[in-house]
Amino acid sequence: MTTTIKVSDETKQLLDMLQAKMTLAFRKKKPLSELIDDITRIALRHEDELLQTKKSPEKAAPNNISRMVKTDAGTADDYIYVED
């Protein structure tokens, strides 16, 4: 069974680069579907790492918010409404 998926242009470019590197390494072009199969199997072996939630430093609220910190309304929302 096959399924069509949509990915961003950036992700498609990264997959193409990985496919090219593998082609050079193995001297044989691997179809994109097989590449994604391999990536999925590797991801499942590292499932614990994948499931750990890591907050990006830009979105994480500072440890102590001081009144002395200058900010604007847009930045304040980033500190108050942090997604978990």
pLDDT digits (tens, 9 = 90+) for 8-23: 999 999 999 999 999 9
Of the two residues 29 and 82, the one the predictor is more confident about is: 29
Q: Which residues of 45-60 are buried (b: 16+ CB within 10 A; e: fewer)?
A: eeeeeeeeeeeeeeee
Residues 23-40 have pLDDT tens digits of 999 999 999 999 999 999
Mean pLDDT of 54-73: 56
Token pair 């961003």 is found at: 8
pLDDT of residue 18: 94
